[in-house]
Amino acid sequence: MDWNFIIFSVVKIAVVIGVVQGMVSYTVLAERKISAWIQDRTGPNRTTPPFVKDIPVIGPFLIRLGVFQPLADGLKFMFKEDFTPAGVRKIYFFLAPAIAVIPAMLTVAVIPFGSTLGAQKMVIADLNVGILYTFGIVSLGVYGIVLAGYAANSKFPFLGGIRSSAQMISYEISMGLSVIPVLLIVGNLNLGEIIRWQATNGWLIIYAPVAFIIFLVASFAETNRLPFDLPEAETELVGGYHTEYGSMKFALFFLGEYSNMVASAGMMVTLFFGGWTLPFWGLDHAAGTLASGIAHILIFLLKMGVFIVLFIWVRWMFPRFRYDQLMDLGWRRFLPLALVNILVTAIILWMRA
């Protein structure tokens, strides 16, 4: 037994889960704030914990920004009555939120969120088949939603579950195929290796822009975000697959959705935008010192932040696609496009070889 490895892994897992949870709660805040700004509103600006008000200048500013809102939201979810409606399929009803959250959290395990810190690689599991693992886990996420729709024993969640399964399966194919050009170019499935390749040869967005666009759209669909939020279309399905859920179980679905968002932002940064690297100031090779190691982590988080803001921004910009339009887009536009993209990339690589 390599105790060193175990201890460091546990520490990394704990820290990463903590950071992801924190990011999720503040993504919710960002969602509320950005939506408010786009809609000419102010957004949450009231939550005032004791003593914070007395801090000069900064305190009122933070309250105005709603920084403490996620704490209040979390507390509210915790203390709400955990109500189970009559007629639900109990076991599945309890299982579904967990199944929605776990894959979302597991995806983060292979994403390298920094180069090195001391002697430790800043990735929980440095798998050789990182991308395959990610796609395998991401496709599990649909079960949580389908199970929730089934377990609720109510028609609207059921419709949400059906929509979700159709949508996620059809977009997953495009998503998987869109990454193949990246793998062809780099020649490695390890996410760390992909980042190192990008550090020497430039970001993959330059080499595979079409792949990036397909991946971006597919990840909107995978995370059930607008314009593809059919499983939880409030105007059509009351609340979608989580209509019958309340309190912490509902919060878990929320958590799953937003951690999916965080994870796919991380995947996009890793695959197409050079992960933790920056092409200048010598930040493109593994860190020698502690300071540059921390800088790499911050760069990664910053890049992720940009994508999370994009996710949020797009949500408050577009109307929802109709169901047939969504399927049309998935199967008849993006699938052929992804296949052609693979073919073209392969031909170019073959000709250059």
Partner 1 sequence: MIVNRKPLTFWERLYLPAIVGGFKVTLKHAYATLFQGKVVTMEYPEQKWAVPPDYRGAPYLVKDQEGNTKCVSCQLCEFVCPPKAIRITPPGPTGKQADRTNAEKMPAEFEINMLRCIYCGFCQEVCPEEAIFLQKDYSLVGSSREEMIYNKEKLLALGGVSPGIQKWKLKLEEAKAQESFPVKL
Which residues contact residue 232 at a Cβ distance below 8 angstroms, ignoring those fewer than 6 apart? 160, 224, 239, 240, 241, 242
Q: Which is nearer to partner 1, 45 or 120 (CB)?
A: 45
Q: Which is nearer to partner 1, 50 or 319 (CB)?
A: 319
Q: How far apart are CA 233 and CA 147, in angstroms?
A: 17
Closest contact distance (angstroms) between CB of 42 and partner 1 is 6
Q: Which is nearer to partner 1, 248 or 310 (CB)?
A: 310
Q: How far apart are CA 345 and CA 274, in angstroms?
A: 19
Place of tokens 């800088």: 295
Q: How far apart are CA 149 and CA 240, in angstroms?
A: 8
Closest contact distance (angstroms) between CB of 345 and partner 1 is 21
Q: How far apart are CA 298 and CA 300, in angstroms?
A: 5
Closest contact distance (angstroms) between CB of 38 and partner 1 is 5
Q: How far apart are CA 187 and CA 190, in angstroms?
A: 9
Q: Which is nearer to partner 1, 41 or 90 (CB)?
A: 41
Closest contact distance (angstroms) between CB of 329 and partner 1 is 9
Question: CA nearest 145: which of 159, 132, 164, 126?
Answer: 164
Closest contact distance (angstroms) between CB of 180 and partner 1 is 23
Phi, psi angle pair for 120, to nearest 5°: -90, 135
Closest contact distance (angstroms) between CB of 204 and partner 1 is 22
Burial group, residue 225, by CB count within 10 angstroms (0-12, 13-18, 19+): buried
Site of interaction with partner 1 (CB under 8 A): 34, 36-42, 45, 313, 316-318
Closest contact distance (angstroms) between CB of 41 and partner 1 is 5
Q: Which is nearer to partner 1, 10 or 317 (CB)?
A: 317
Q: Which is nearer to partner 1, 37 or 94 (CB)?
A: 37
Q: How far apart are CA 343 and CA 324, in angstroms?
A: 28
Q: Which is nearer to partner 1, 156 or 307 (CB)?
A: 307
Closest contact distance (angstroms) between CB of 318 and partner 1 is 6
Q: How far apart are CA 307 and CA 297, in angstroms?
A: 16
Question: CA nearest 88: which of 101, 79, 97?
Answer: 97
Q: How far apart are CA 168 and CA 216, in angstroms?
A: 14
Q: Which is nearer to partner 1, 42 or 128 (CB)?
A: 42
Q: How far apart are CA 10 and CA 183, in angstroms?
A: 30
Place of tokens 């020649």: 187
